[in-house]
Amino acid sequence: MDKQEVARLVTTPLDSPAYAPTRYRFSDREYLNVVYRTDPEVLRRLVPEPLTVSEPLVRFEVMRMPDTTGLGDYTEAGQLIAVEHDGEAGEFNLAMYVDSVPAISSGREFSAYPKKSGSPALYVDSDTLIGTLDYGTVRVATATMGYKHRAMDLGEARAEVCLPNFMIKTVPHYDGTPRICELVRTQITDITVKSAFTGPARLQLFAHAIAPLADLPVLEVVSASHIVTDLTLNPVEAVYDYLA
């Protein structure tokens, strides 16, 4: 392999890349979203400048992705915090727990998604939509929502999924000092909302040292949604360089 070929590599191993170098298109991507009010002081300790906390709101999401170009079939769960950046409302992606190594690798390397390994699930149990997250063998989150109780406005559902998303991209030098440390932004724009419903919801978070979702306690469930979409992810762009 000559130097030019090496320089064009997206990821390793050389003979079996960790993920497919493609733009990811999701068909029938299914969301369970539970928005809840939490402790504002905890949020202020977690949210990095120059982002600011707009309201003490967190969205716990479970995403079922049965058909993804290059990545196949997998599920994610995580927490996103309502923030503002330069007057623009968005969400800070705090953590994502994923059951797919290619999705973890591509999300962290190719973009800036804060992904780590976990075992999320999304399914219907009789008249209830269930979203769960296990870390190892331990349950750390359970969300429940009444199944398709009330139709949701499709424009409202689109706005919920298409909020700007902010993340921290960090890559160390070999000596451990930071090589890249940036605040990045991305936003979904290519989307078709196929169905959207709302209903009564509850969320339980359980204390865990390594999957600390319960550090953002559930004080009040504000809203819930069950949304099915087809969409394409956009690339991220840097909006602040912490090393500049």
- Supply 35's token pair: 């928005």
Among residues 115, 116, 148, 194, which one is catalytic? 115
**R_g of the chain, CA atoms, integer Å:** 18
29 in Cβ contact with 228 (< 8 Å): yes
Prediction pTM value? 0.96
Quote the CA–CA distance of 99 and 103 in Å, as a whole number: 8
pLDDT at 10: 87
181 in Cβ contact with 169 (< 8 Å): yes
Strands 52-68 and 72-85: antiparallel
- Supply 237's token pair: 């762009």
Q: Which residues contact 3 (CB under 8 A, 6 or more apart)?
A: none
Whether 3 sits among the annotated catalytic residues: the reply is: no
Average pLDDT for runs of 10 along the chain of length 244: 89 91 93 98 96 96 97 98 98 98 95 97 98 98 98 98 98 96 98 98 98 98 98 97 97
- Supply 8's token pair: 């064009």
